[in-house]
Structure 1
């Protein structure tokens, strides 16, 4: 235990030194410090976070956002959320990126009630959700078949004037299609093309599969032909990359 404590102290010292001596640190540096804390006690982590907050004030929020994200990427979900909770007692404030990161973390592990609670907290803090916020909610709810909630989030997104992107339409088209509402899926598919958002092969395959399941074979064949004739123009993996946190 003493060895582990020494490693944490030494790594923390190096990280803090690099943080103040360089303009920015690489993602690898943040991941490394997160891995060091994997076996450490929560009290050590909370002290480290407090030190970082004071060391980087008044610009500590972006740094702590990256720390939260790195802990989540290392599979330390509870510690990432512990850091998020600790921000309440620090001088730095949670911002949109903080909330987007935590919404994604909670959504990925299926803690949807907590995710929706933090979404409500975001709005109570007078922080305006963006397309990343809504996409995170839609994707997480889609995975568990919550069409009712997806519809509600989609309506709120439109009412707020937030413009949907490829990720938005991908989640909605798949969600409505899987629930048997292929008419709504087709409507969204045409809407995205009118907005000149390029569909992906994933969207086409999802539409085709769900149309066939609902007995809409002719429509499925027409969509398939359209897909095959435009393969070189379809959106690729780079178009699905989310905004950097």
Structure 2
């Protein structure tokens, strides 16, 4: 019964593709009506293709007459007697045939096969197919990688998850942020730190020198899903590996510690960063100032503000936003106004947020005339940025 359904599904797929190939060969050189027919068949072909792949059980042997390759291409079934390599080779042959006949990238077909392998819990086949497609320079959509990683997560096997992630890193040039997040989320309920650190060491050796970039993204993903301590463990591990922390790594760690209010640790890592011979950039100083202002350490904010200026690093809008807002909220309006004047002198246009913050503080302090003056200045600044055409449209 299962074999019969598989035969029918595969026959439907072959017939659909036969129609598609025939229309492809004659439709583009015919009337507009035939071109419309071609478009309809193309859409139908994609629908049947996806559903036929999903309906064929892996391991079913199809024993029925072979169709001529000139009409149907090379379509091989998943056989009970076939090895994993033979199954993947058959899938690859089918993918290449469809790509050659339809002149498409084959991404949807590849993703459908990956999805099928995962649904059948055949992760070995899925990983082997990913590797083979990579070797053939055939691109996969990011959804296919994420599907494979989620399948590994569903198995509740951290070792398998780590191996799958390593295979993905080797099989494609780059993974998107959602893929890293899926990997990190799998460790929320997993306390096997030794497995995680072993994975970090293996990655460092496996894809060096690009491993530092990968580590940075892993650290960020762990922090994003609330696993700060594990992110810091990975960072500490990096210090003893080939893939040493770079400026981006340290900036990420400064941001993590600053958000958690762990400013003493943040300051310690900032010192370590400079001791490692790395030069802090504008992001480093802004992250440091933002973290310090949250706990009210304004004097240190000014110390690092002066230090960055002495190093020749020009403060930007974010730097001034943090300082002006902080000093104003802590009652030092004079310092806020001085920084505001300095910002404009440097040619940095104040944001609406800065204006509103100053106006609110001045009103609370009873300095209403100055608050009104800043309010008018803000309106004029907004008008100048949007231009006269915007004002005319708004007044209609």
Give the counterpart of 2:303 among 115, 138, 152. Answer: 152
TM-score by structure 1 length? 0.89
Give per-residue Cα distances to partners, 1:30-49, cap 9 Å, x unaligned. Answer: 11110112222111111111
Give per-residue Cα distances to partners, 1:201-237, cap 9 Å, x unaligned. Answer: 21111111222233322111100111123335679xx
SS of alignment partner, residue 89 of structure 1: coil
Aligned residue for 2:242? 91
Q: 1:16 to 1:234 in 2, by over 3 A?
A: farther
Distance (whole Å) between structure 1 residues aligned to residue 340 and residue 332 of structure 2: 13
Report whether the alignment pairs 1:33 with 2:183. yes
Q: 1:9 to 1:117 in 2, by over 3 A?
A: same
Report whether the alignment pairs 1:13 with 2:163. yes
Q: How many residues align?
A: 233
Report whether the alignment pairs 1:126 with 2:277. yes
Give the counterpart of 2:216 among 61, 65, 69. Answer: 65
Give per-residue Cα distances to partners, 1:92-124, cap 9 Å, x unaligned. Answer: 111100100000000001111000000111111
Aligned residue for 1:177? 328
Give the counterpart of 2:318 among 161, 167, 176. Answer: 167
Aligned residue for 2:356? 205
Aligned residue for 2:150? none
Question: Displacement, 1:6?
Answer: 4.8
Give unpaired runs (5+ residues) of structure 1.
Answer: 236-245
Report whether the alignment pairs 1:23 with 2:173. yes
Question: Displacement, 1:87?
Answer: 1.0
Distance (whole Å) between structure 1 residues aligned to residue 383 and residue 203 of structure 2: 48
Distance (whole Å) between structure 2 residues aligned to residue 5 and residue 56 of structure 1: 26
Aligned residue for 2:112? none
Aligned residue for 1:240? none
More relative contact order, 1 or 2 (CA 8 Å, 6+ apart): 1
What RMSD in Å do the two structures reach over aligned CA positions? 1.9
Give unpaired runs (5+ residues) of structure 2.
Answer: 1-152, 387-396
